[in-house]
Structure 1
Amino acid sequence: MIAAPFHAGERALQAQTGAREQMALVGPRVIRDRMPDQHRQFFAQLPFLVVGSLDAQLQPWASVLSAPPGFAHSPDATHLRVDALPADGDPLAAQLVHGAPLGLLGIEPHTRRRNRMNGTVESLDGTGFMVQVQQSFGNCPRYIQAREPEFVSARHDTAPVQRLDALDLDAQRLIGSADTLFIATAYPEDVAAGDDADATSHGVDVSHRGGRPGFVRVDEDGVLTVPDFNGNRFFNTLGNLLAHPRAGLLFIDHDNGELLHVAATAEIVHEGPELAAFEGAERLLRLRVQHALRRPAALPLRWGDAQLSPHLAGTGQWAAGRR
């Protein structure tokens, strides 16, 4: 058990929503410093793994690694071995060094299961890396769209990475039609100075967000607005953003394997007419895009049509005309 798993940003949002006392009891019971056997087995059956990292400028990035099931496996309860490495141009490639903090998300969309594991790189070699567990916990299945991945090739295209200083039309279309995104955030050591939380709360998180297609609004000024629905009240992602308002987003084109990595600054909107008008949203996340990386055909997985989460029945859509 971890006695104090939540840092100052997480605790502040828990207090604001009246959940602080409950989370103080729940957190130490469900956030562990080791992986239970169920989580260890789950990671080993996945064909992809979402990874959050932090660059030298303290910008978080979200990436994805993919290989046949078994490429991620746990030799013991405090370690996860990943037999895959990021390709050139993946933001993770520059950050993957000994001691680097990582956030890992194992997600199986077609069964709507997901588990989180945060840790540090303990070792690295020519075929993969080992992560030392700091925090391990499950996530609720709400808002996951059911779609099953399928490998199209053991080797995939290596088209040049395209840097975008602003979102072009293709990027806007991908984001504006998405029903899923992944978001990396961080609570860096420099930001954590003086916090009395357990040191395992420092580092990087990566999480999933889902909604009806078009739930991410793309405005002309390069700002993305995302509704935040009811969750587990841990506030890992939003707590990080309260303390360190920078995020890394990952959008996947499920038809062709294109990846879009977005670096953004973040603001949490707690009230106002836009929030009130979006059914089911408890707050909004405003993300101002700084730049993006497009990686065509970078992921050797394809998905069929998605079955939207039944929990989206009580959520709204953006009003037309605000693009």
Structure 2
Amino acid sequence: MAAYHPGTRAVQDRVGVRELADHVGRSIGTDIREVAAAFLTRQPFLVIGAADPEGLVWASVVDGAPGFLRAVGPRRMGVAGRVPDGDPLAGALTVPGLPVGTIVLDPRTRRRMRLNGTLAAPAPGGFAVRAEQVFANCPKYLQKRQPLDAVEEGRGGVRHGGALAPGQIRAIRAADTFFIATTAEDGVDAGHRGGNPGFVQVRSAHELAWPDYPGNGMFLTLGNLAADPRAGLLFPDWETGAVLQLSGRARTEFGTDGQRTVVFTVESVVESLRAGRLRWSAPEYSPANPPVHRGSTTR
């Protein structure tokens, strides 16, 4: 998997950061180095992105006790866990060779790493990912949280829909973090977006928008969207362990003032009321978060 494809190059050129992207892109490797392997073993959750059999792109979460993630050799990550029952990727994540993108984030330290590749043959109680891209990201826009006591998984249900319900709209407006899965011809990527509550605008029950804050200049997410508009969003409820998953299509609007806005059209909604085992403290917001300019309401 090349570091950049024509979609990412097009966005880099439009913004004028190709030279910076070339420099930062040298950090993308294929091996899970020792420091990355040690980081994996300390983390209690993984976000994974992929397309389901119908072609919808989703982001899902897998959690477990620290140690459930581990490097199995220099180019394979073992995951001793699965997505919950009812998750839209439950079936897809049993298919060897499936392109996937993953991100592992530590809210305690604001550290994160991404590992993109393909599924290896599934193993009992889990799966493995063959690494094609491995790299770390900066701590910008990451809210710091501390883990609370884990609990047993609840037995809440799963709600499906084609548009956002009022309670889901309220949750999105209150969110300070979400994860996004995107795809292009050469693979899948999973990324993180963060900001102060309100940074994600709900324009209607079918449309969201958020600012694309300055980052590392690689534009992996926006580049994938330039090549393929399909995307999946995951909004975690850090207090209850529930998750809200959206699948749809996204586009980037480039303003004349250099600002960029991503507009997401909702096509499918899955809300898991099953409380996962993880609970986290209230956030300490990132000092990098820009102020939120409120004023967009649901139409």
TM-score range for the pair, normalised by the shorter chain length: over 0.9
Which of 177, 181, 185 is residue 180 of structure 1 equivalent to? 177
CA–CA separation in structure 1 for the residues paired with 2:29 and 2:196: 32
In structure 2, the residue corresponding to 1:93 is in which secondary structure? coil
- After superposition, where does 1:141-152 map in structure 2 within 5 Å? 141-152=139-150
Q: Return the TM-score normalized by structure 2.
A: 0.95
Contact (CA 8 Å) 2:205, 2:298: kept in 1 or not?
no
Q: What percent identity do the matched residue pairs reach? A: 39
Unmatched runs of 5 consecutive residues or more in structure 1 = 189-201
Q: How does 1:266-285 map to 2 (within 5 A)?
A: 266-271=250-255, 282-285=259-262
Partner Cα separation in structure 1 for residue 287 and residue 157 of structure 2: 38
Provide the TM-score with structure 1 as the length reference.
0.88
List, as ranges, runs of 4+ consecutive aligned residues in structure 1 with deviation greater than 4 Å: 320-323
SS at match of 1:52: strand
Residue 263 of structure 1: how far off its partner (Å) = 0.8
Relative to structure 1, the CA distance from residue 20 to residue 93 in structure 2 (aligned partners, 3 Å threshold; closer, same or farther) is same
Separation in structure 1 between the aligned mates of residue 298 and residue 205 of structure 2, nearest angstrom: 11
Deviation at 1:47, TM superposition (A): 0.6
Partner of 1:191: none
Q: Offset of 1:321 from its aligned partner? A: 5.0
Distance 1:7 1:53 in 2: 18
> Is residue 241 of structure 2 the alignment partner of residue 257 of structure 1?
yes
Asked whether the equivalents of residues 14 and 235 of structure 1 are also in contact (C-alpha less than 8 Å), the reply is: yes
Q: Equivalent residue of 1:115, what SS?
A: strand
Instruction: Say if 2:43 and 2:69, in contact at 8 Å, map to a contact too.
Output: yes
Once residues 53 and 125 of structure 1 are traced to their aligned partners in structure 2, the CA distance between those partners, rounded to angstroms, is 18
Amino acid at match of 2:281: G
d(CA) in 2 for partners of 1:152, 1:66:
11
CA RMSD between the two structures: 1.7
Instruction: Please tell me the residue identity of whatever aligns with 1:301.
Output: L
Matches within 5 A, 1:105-184: 105-153=103-151, 155-184=152-181
2:101 maps to 103
- Deviation per CA, 1:147-168, whole angstroms, max 9, x where unpaired? 1233432x30232211012111
Between Structure 1 and Structure 2, the one with more helix by share is: 1
Deviates most, 214-223 or 112-121? 214-223
> Counterpart in 2 of 1:319?
295
Residues 68, 221 of structure 1: CA spacing in aligned structure 2 closer, same or farther, 3 A cutoff? closer
Letter in 1 for 2:64: A
The equivalent of 2:88 in structure 1 is: 91
Determine whether 1:304 maps to 2:288.
Answer: no
Partner of 2:206: 222
Pick from 212, 222, 228 the counterpart of residue 196 of structure 2. 212
The code of the aligned residue for 1:304 comes to S
Secondary structure of 2:224's partner? Answer: helix
CA distance in 2, matches of 1:115, 1:22: 20
